[in-house]
C-alpha cells in the first residue's frame, strides 16, 4: 500500500490522482499506524514550514514518519515534504525540522528582477550520480526537463552528494535529493505533465 500523509496542508487530490495512474493500491491517511505499516510513503505539503511541523506533531505523526524512513522502505517528499526532512528552516524565524537530512531551508533573495515566490516552470539539471548512485526516479526523464515549482524557500544540504538535481532561479538551488531510500523534490511532479508523471511512475515501480 502506498500511503499519502494527510496532515491538513497537502495538495492531496492531485497527488493521489497521479499515483493512481500507475497503481490502485494507494490511500490517504492521517493514522500513525497506517503510516508505519505502509509499503511506500509520500509526504506532500504546501504552506508554511512552522505550521506544517506543528500539525504533524499535533497529530502524532512525526514518530511514525521517522520510524517508517528508518525501516528502509521507500519515502517521497514533495515540496514542503522535502523541506520538513531537513534540520531547520529560516521561514519566519528559525524552526526545527525532522533532521533526517542535514542542512537548512533558506529564502530566495528578491533581487535581480526575480519574483518571490518562485512560481512556474524551470528545468531540472540532473546530477550524474548521487551518494546512492544514479537516481532511479529520474530514469527515462530527459535532462533539463521542465518541472512546475511554487515556493519561496529552498534546501541547502550539508552533504552535496545527496543532490540528485538542481534548478536555476537567480541561483543554482537543490531541487531534488536522493539518499538510500529517501527521495524528495522541491517541485510538484503531480503537476509537471509528462515528465513529472514519469517520476511518479518510477516511484510507484520501485
The pLDDT assigned to 133 comes to 58
Rounded to whole angstroms, how far apart are CA atoms 26 and 38?
9
CB count within 10 Å of CB 13 equals 10
Task: Give pLDDT, residue 127.
Answer: 86
Q: What is the third-level CATH fold of 2-205?
A: Rossmann fold (3.40.50)
> Model confidence at 15, in pLDDT bands (50, 70, 90)?
very high
Catalytic residues: 79, 188, 190
**Tens-place pLDDT, residues 124-146:** 999 866 555 589 999 999 999 99
| Average pLDDT rounded to a whole number, residues 177-186 | 97
For the chain, domain boundaries: 2-205
The predicted-structure confidence for 63-113, as pLDDT tens digits, reads as follows: 999 999 999 999 999 999 999 999 999 999 999 999 999 999 999 987 767
User: What span, in angstroms and rounded, lies between the C-alpha atoms of 196 and 182?
Assistant: 18
| DSSP-derived secondary structure letter, 130 | B
The predicted structure's pLDDT at residue 129: 60
Q: What is the pLDDT of residues 149-165, one digit of tens each?
A: 999 999 999 999 999 99
Paired with 168 in beta bridges are: 172
105: cell is: 531551508
| pLDDT over threshold 60, residue 48 | yes
Amino acid at each position: 500500500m502506498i500511503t499519502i500523509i494527510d496532515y491538513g496542508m497537502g495538495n492531496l487530490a492531485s497527488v493521489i490522482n497521479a499515483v493512481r495512474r500507475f497503481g490502485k493500491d494507494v490511500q490517504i491517511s492521517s493514522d500513525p499506524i497506517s503510516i508505519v505499516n505502509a509499503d511506500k510513503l509520500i509526504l506532500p505539503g504546501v504552506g508554511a514550514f512552522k505550521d506544517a511541523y506543528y500539525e504533524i506533531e499535533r497529530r502524532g505523526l512525526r514518530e511514525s514518519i521517522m520510524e517508517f524512513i528508518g525501516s528502509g522502505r521507500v519515502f517521497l517528499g514533495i515540496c514542503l515534504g522535502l523541506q520538513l526532512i531537513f534540520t531547520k528552516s529560516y521561514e519566519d524565524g528559525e524552526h526545527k525540522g525532522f533532521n533526517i537530512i542535514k542542512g537548512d531551508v533558506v529564502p530566495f533573495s528578491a533581487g535581480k528582477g526575480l519574483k518571490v515566490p518562485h512560481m512556474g516552470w524551470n528545468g531540472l539539471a540532473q546530477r550524474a550520480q548521487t551518494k546512492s548512485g544514479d537516481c532511479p526516479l529520474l530514469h527515462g526523464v530527459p535532462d533539463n526537463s521542465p518541472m512546475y515549482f511554487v515556493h519561496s524557500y529552498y534546501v541547502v544540504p550539508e552533504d552535496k552528494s545527496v543532490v540528485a538535481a538542481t534548478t536555476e532561479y537567480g541561483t543554482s538551488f537543490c531541487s531534488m535529493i536522493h539518499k538510500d531510500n529517501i527521495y524528495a523534490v522541491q517541485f510538484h511532479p503531480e503537476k509537471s505533465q509528462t515528465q513529472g508523471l514519469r517520476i511518479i511512475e518510477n516511484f510507484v515501480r520501485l
